[in-house]
Structure formats: C-alpha cells, structure tokens
Amino acid sequence: MTITGEMLIGFSAVRGNEGEQRAFNPATNSEIMEPVFGMGGAAEVERAASLAQQAFDVYRNVPLTKRAVFLEAIAENILALGDELIERAHAETGLPVPRLQGERARTVGQLRLFARVVRDGHFLGSTIDAAQPERQPSPRADLRLAKIPVGPVAVFGASNFPLAFSVAGGDTASALAAGAPVVVKAHSAHLGTSKLVGCAIQKAVMENGLPEGTFSLLFGAGRTLGEALVSHPVIKAVGFTGSRQGGLALLRIANARPEPVPVYAEMSSINPVFLFPSALENRAEAISAAFVDSLTMGAGQFCTNPGLVLAIDGPGLERFVKAAAEALNTRQAQTMLTPGIFDAYCTGTKNVDAVQGVTKVAQGQSAGERPNSAQAALYLTDAQRLLDSPELEAEMFGPASVVVRARDVDELLRIAEHIEGQLTVTLQIDAADHADAQRLLPVLERKAGRILANGFPTGVEVCHAMVHGGPFPSTSNAMFTSVGATAIDRFLRPVCYQDLPDALLPDALKRSNPLRVWRLVEGEVIAPV
Ligand code: NAP
C-alpha cells in the first residue's frame, strides 16, 4: 500500500495544512522522505469530532455480534498489511523486527480478546432488582442497571508500542469494544505506521457497514491539535500513554473544560524489584541474568522496566551486583525510539551520575558513531541516599537502574512507604523469605497495580486478570487498567432503568434475556438458560 500523508477523517482522506512533517528514522538519524504528512489543527478536530458524535448512537446500538466481527476484521486487516507494516515500523522506531512481529501478534490478539468480551456481554454488567409491589411499608420499583459507552473517546498513541499501544492498540480496541467511536492522535514518532494501521481500521469500518465517524486518525504537530481534541465537547474520555508531563498537561485541559472528562493517562513508573535474602543466597546469579535481560529489553523503553532494585546488604547482594555488572558491561548499545527520548535518557542518567554517594557499577558498550543509541548503566547506593534524592526515583526510560542497599527489613519497609505509586512491584523470594515479604505486602498493595513473585515486570500479558495501572503518578486514575479485558470499563458508565416497559429496555435487561448474558438478579449471579 502506498502511504500517503493525509489524515483519515471518517471515510475521507484529508490533507492538513497546519504544517508538514516527515517520519524520522532514529537509526540513521535522518528523515524518511516519503510521504510528507500534512498536519491538522482545530478544523480537522472539529470535523472528526462531529462525525464521531453522529456515529455514536448508531455504533453503540449495532448488535454485539456485529461489533465483535468488526474488531476481528481490524485484526485481519492489520495482518493483511504483511511485512510492509513491520518494515515501516522498524524504520520509524528502530525496534527490532522480531520484537515488532511479536507486538503485531499481541495487537491482533488484543482485538480478538475484546471481540470475545463483546460477544460474551458480561461487560454490560446487567443487574436486575425486580419490582416488589407488595413490599411494606412501601413498594419497590423495578430497577435494572446496564452499562453504556461514555461517548466518543480520544486516544493518544504511545511511542514505545507503535502497534500494541498505538492506533489500533489497547485504548482503541477497548473503546471500540465498549461501543465508543474513537479519534486517534497519531504519535509523531511513527506517522507512517499509524497511517497503515489507520487504513486497516477504516477499511473494517467500511466493510462492516458501520457509521463513518466510528474512527478517525489525525496528525498534529506541536501541542495544538492534541489540546483541541481533549478540549472538544464531544470527547467524553481520553486514553494516553507517554510522559508524566504530557499526561498531566492533558489532565489539566480535561479538568478545565466546562464539562470535565476523565483522562486515563499511563505515565511514569520505575517498578521496584525487592531481592530477599534467601532468594539471593540461593540464586543471585540467575536473578541477575533475568534482571539484565528485562532491563535491556527494547533498549529499556518499557513502562514496566525495572528501574529500582532494593535488597538487604550482604554477600548475596554483592554476588547479584557483580554478576549484573559483568553482564551489563558487555551489552551493546541499542537505538532508541526518538532523538528526544535518547536525550531524555542521557539527561536522566547524567542526573543520577551527579548524585553524591551513588556509584556507577556498570556501563554497557559504547555506541560509537551510531546515533540515538542508549548505553546500559547500573548504579549502586544506600537507602538513606535514595530517601534524600528525588533524582534517583525519576523514570530514566531506558536501560538504566539503581540498586539500593538497605540495612534490614525495616529499612526496606521505609523505602516501600516512601516510593511513589507504581505500575508494578516485584518480589524475588524463596520460602524462607515469606515472613519478611508478608510484612511488606500491605504497603506494596497500596503502591502498585501488579505485584509479581520471582519474575520480572516487563512482558504484560493481555488477559482478563491483568492490571496495568496503579496509583499516581504511574497513572492518573488508579481504579482502572489500560491493558487486559477490564480496560473496557474505562469507557462505560452505568444507567439505571426504573419501571421501563420491557419493549423499551436495552436487550441486556429484557425479561427474555435475548443476549443470553450472565446477570446479577437480586444479588445472585444467574447464568443464561
Ligand atoms: P510524550 O511526549 O508524553 O507524548 C505522547 C503523546 O502525547 C504524543 O502524541 C504527543 O504529541 C502528545 N503530547 C505530549 N504532551 C502534550 C501536550 N502538552 N499537549 C498535547 N499533546 C501532547 O511521550 P513520548 O514522546 O512518547 O516520550 C517521551 C517520554 O515519555 C519518554 O522519555 C519517557 O520518559 C516517557 N514515556 C513513558 C511511557 C510509559 O509507558 N510510561 C511510554 C512512552 C514514553 P507529539 O506526537 O506531537 O509529540
């Protein structure tokens, strides 16, 4: 497919005239000449939002089976793009081809998972408390609850997942599954990839006879288009993955609207890893090998990258640091997603270098002349230094981590109480560590969305039980997840129908249960018969 520089607004290809941009190849540090993308502005936001508004009541009322088929069609259309998609994503992001192939599989799997969620209908939360006309002292009305989509959703694609968290990624898939039209602002770091995937979605909209405004894809330079999108009264929720600064800026805009709307922003996390004494004694070298792989995967550009390691001082920790340093010293530098992200990584590591009482114990291979390539780094410090130095807790977003020596479990507890909200916390524990881990758990539950034992946090399974969220600042709303089946809940709201005639009730609540969904009836879960 020839990639052209037009936006996709409903079924139209629209060339923006608010400036031009070319895609960028971070590995060669040069622009990709074709095509020239025309950037949009407020006029294009208006057009996409207005189409989304027109589409809303039609799209949300198409039968669930049809919505599911639509999601599956997007998956098929993405696969049909073949190698072109992978090659373009590779050129625009520097991410290795196997990684991108895996990410495409995840993207397609995610769309199919949401198709199953839609068919199953459980997400509607159908709940029935039937009328009790004889109840004393006063009768009870017939009360029925079901969830409806909030309205059109704005999605900001993530730079570090050009497929799985971008145009057809988790935010878009869960919003479309909820019945919400989507307007995506493409990430400037992979414009061509965005366009290819956008075409796959647009084609699925057309093939399935869905309303034009179900999906639009916009390009915007600077901040104006994104700001206009979040400010637009038609937009009822926002999905975002990126920097804390960007997420908070969009949150402020959304809160300042005459009608504030939720922004589900996934921002920064350093994903502490606690190494307990017995685990270190039994397998320091194995833990260190897995840690180094996790830290350097994808040049460390994961929101779940293990940026902080905490352990009680002793021979086990020494063995861990020695083995990790030896392995990291040999790791090749890797191309980062954008020159901006590379600069931010260099600044982050420089800030840590400058903290007194912090020792750099490992540095990966130099990149030589290769541009935008991150050298891995490992730092060592003590607990008090961490407590006193905010620089050590800032997300470095790359293959660098800080190891902290604590005196005892009480000091680990102090650190656990001190750290900010996180997406994940990891425990490396053996049976003899359980009592100490038990002391930490109540604190860690308050701090993180996912707690793992004896693994590493990179690699987020897309399934029903996943939580990829967490207390601020890891996200702007700790009550939801952005990965996994329940991500759909972000874009739904409950409506209670009181005494409505059966004919006027949504199918999820009709007496005959035509959707054959599980329902909560008088507080009891009832299977369809
Ligand atoms: P970003 O700068 O926050 O950008 C993310 C998206 O939001 C882009 O589409 C960007 O537009 C838009 N945007 C950012 N600030 C905005 C504002 N004030 N108003 C309107 N739109 C705005 O993130 P990034 O470029 O992907 O990466 C930069 C840093 O973010 C990294 O160094 C890293 O620290 C962090 N990051 C974290 C995660 C994570 O998962 N936690 C993921 C990726 C990045 P443009 O496309 O026009 O720039």
- Strands 524-526 vs 519-521: parallel, antiparallel or unpaired: antiparallel
CA–centroid distance, residue 83 to ligand 1 (Å): 27
Query: Does one domain contain both 225 and 278?
Result: no
| Ligand 1 and 374: CB distance under 6 A | no
- CA 509 to CA 511: how far, in whole Å? 6
Which atom of ligand 1 is closest in space to residue 243's alpha carbon? 30
What spacing in Å lies between the alpha carbon of 120 and ligand 1's midpoint? Answer: 35
Residues 194 and 84 in one domain: yes
- What is d(CA 375, CA 58) in angstroms, rounded to the nearest whole number? 51
Edge to edge, what strands does the sheet with 519-521 contain? 492-498, 143-149, 127-129, 519-521, 524-526
Domain annotation covers residue 33 = no
In a domain? residue 444: yes
Q: What is the pLDDT, as a whole number, of residue 529?
A: 84
Among the listed residues 199, 212, 303, 411, the single catalytic one is 303
Please state the length of the chain.
529
Furthest CA-CA distance within the chain: 83
For position 221, what pLDDT does the model report? 86
Structure tokens at 272: 């502490």
CA–CA separation, 217 vs 183, rounded Å?
6
CB atoms within 10 A of CB 396: 26
Beta strands in 370-457, from DSSP E residues, in sequence order: 373-374, 377-382, 400-406, 422-428, 448-453
25 lies in some domain: no
Looking at the structure, tell me whether residues 357 and 378 fall in a common domain: yes
User: How far apart are the CA of 247 and the centre of ligand 1, in A?
Assistant: 8
Amino acid at 169: G
Q: Domain holding 444: CATH number?
A: 3.40.309.10
Q: What is the mean pLDDT of residues 148-170?
A: 98
> Over the chain, what is the mean pLDDT?
97
Inform me whether the pLDDT recorded for 222 exceeds 90.
Answer: no
- Residue 280 DSSP one-character state: H
**What is the mean pLDDT of the segment spanning 69-96?**
98
> Do 329 and 216 reside in the same domain of the chain?
no
Start-to-end CA distance of the chain, whole Å, equals: 48
Beta bridge partners of 99: none
- Per-residue pLDDT at 33: 82
Tell which of 400, 434, 453 closes a domain: 453
Alpha-carbon distance of 1 to 57, in angstroms, equals 33
Classify burial at 529, counting beta carbons within 10 Å of its beta carbon; exposed 0-12, middle 13-18, buried 19 or more. exposed
CB of 212 closer than 6 angstroms to any ligand 1 atom: no
Number of domains composing the chain? 2
Answer yes or no: is the C-beta of 227 below 6 A from any ligand 1 atom. Answer: yes
Probe target for ligand 1 pocket from 219, 227, 243, with the most ligand atoms within 8 Å of CB = 243
Rounded CA gap, 484 and 54, in Å? Answer: 29
At 268 the pLDDT is 92
Which amino acid type is present at position 321? V
Residue-wise pLDDT for 369-384, tens only, equals 999 999 999 999 999 9
Give catalytic status of residue 461 as yes or no: no
Ligand 1 probe mutation, 20, 93, 159, 241, most atoms within 8 A of CB: 159
241 shares a domain with 287: no
Portion of the chain with pLDDT greater than 70, in percent: 100
The Cα 419–Cα 472 span in angstroms is 11
Report which of 163, 182, 164 is spatially closest to residue 172, judged by C-alpha positions: 182
- 505 lies in some domain: no
| Closest alpha carbon to 148 in 10, 240, 259, 56 | 56
pLDDT at residue 460 is higher than 90? yes
Tens digit of each residue's pLDDT (9 = 90 or more) over 329-350: 999 999 999 999 999 999 999 9
Q: What is the pLDDT of residues 224-276, one digit of tens each?
A: 999 999 999 999 999 999 999 999 999 999 999 999 999 999 999 999 999 99
Residue bearing the CA closest to ligand 1, atom 10? 187
321 and 194, same domain (yes or no):
no
- Same domain (yes/no): 330, 216: no
Residue 502 lies in a domain: no
> At 438, phi and psi to the nearest 5?
-60, -35
CB atoms < 10 A from the CB of 314, how many? 12
The pLDDT-based confidence of 314 (bands split at 50, 70, 90) is very high
Contact residues for 428 (Cβ-Cβ < 8 A; gap 6+): 273, 274, 275, 276, 279, 280, 287, 453, 454
Question: What's the predicted TM-score (pTM) here?
Answer: 0.97
> Is residue 158 in contact with ligand 1, taking CB distance under 6 Å?
yes
Calpha distance 119→481 (Å, rounded): 21
Asked if 121 and 155 sit in the same domain, the reply is yes
Which of 72, 92, 212, 266 is catalytic? The answer is 266
Please choose, from the candidates 189, 211, 133, 227, the residue with its C-alpha nearest in 3D space to the C-alpha of residue 21: 189
Other residues' Cβ atoms within 10 Å of the Cβ of residue 356 = 8
**Residue 1 to residue 81: CA distance in whole angstroms:** 8
- Residue with CA at minimum distance from ligand 1 atom 5: 242
> In terms of domains, do 293 and 153 share one?
no
Ligand 1 atom closest to 222 (CA): 47
> What confidence score (pLDDT) does residue 475 get?
98
Whether residue 32 lies inside any domain: the answer is: no
Same domain flag for 386 and 322 = yes
Q: Please tell me the distance between residue 222's alpha carbon and the centre of ligand 1 in angstroms.
A: 11
Residue 141 confidence (pLDDT) above 90:
yes
Burial of 9 (0-12, 13-18, 19+ CB in 10 A): buried
d(CA 305, CA 272): 9
Ligand 1 geometric centre to CA of 390 (Å): 21
> Could you tell me if the CB of 252 is within 6 A of ligand 1?
no
Residue 187: CB within 6 Å of ligand 1?
A: yes
Residue 501 in domain:
no
Contacts of residue 289, Cβ cutoff 8 Å, sequence gap at least 6: 323, 327
In sequence order, which residues have a C-beta less than 8 Å from that of residue 71 and are 6 or more positions away?
A: 111, 112, 114, 115, 118, 173, 176, 177
Same domain, 433 and 288: yes
| Atom number of ligand 1 nearest to Cα 341 | 32
What is the position in ligand 1's atom list of the atom closest to the CA of 423?
A: 41
The CATH number linked to 177 is: 3.40.605.10
Q: How far apart are the C-alpha atoms of 471 and 239, rounded to whole Å?
A: 16
Looking only at the bridges linking them, the beta strands covering 519-521 and 359-363 are unpaired
How many Å lie between the centroid of ligand 1 and the Cα of residue 411?
A: 35
pLDDT tens for each residue of 100-123: 999 999 999 999 999 999 999 999
Ligand 1 centroid distance, CA of 174 (Å): 21
Active site residue 199: no
Q: How far is 504 from 514, CA to CA, in rounded Å?
A: 14
Amino acid residing at 303: C
Domain containing 258 equals: 8-15+51-131+140-267+480-490
Please count the other Cβ atoms lying within 10 Å of the Cβ belonging to residue 57: 10
**Looking at the domain assignment, is residue 30 inside a domain?**
no
125: pLDDT strictly greater than 90: yes
| Atom 29 in ligand 1: residue holding the nearest Cα | 243
Ligand 1 pocket member 241 (CB < 6 A): yes
Average pLDDT over residues 421-443: 98
Task: Give yes or no: residues 172 and 280 share one domain.
Answer: no
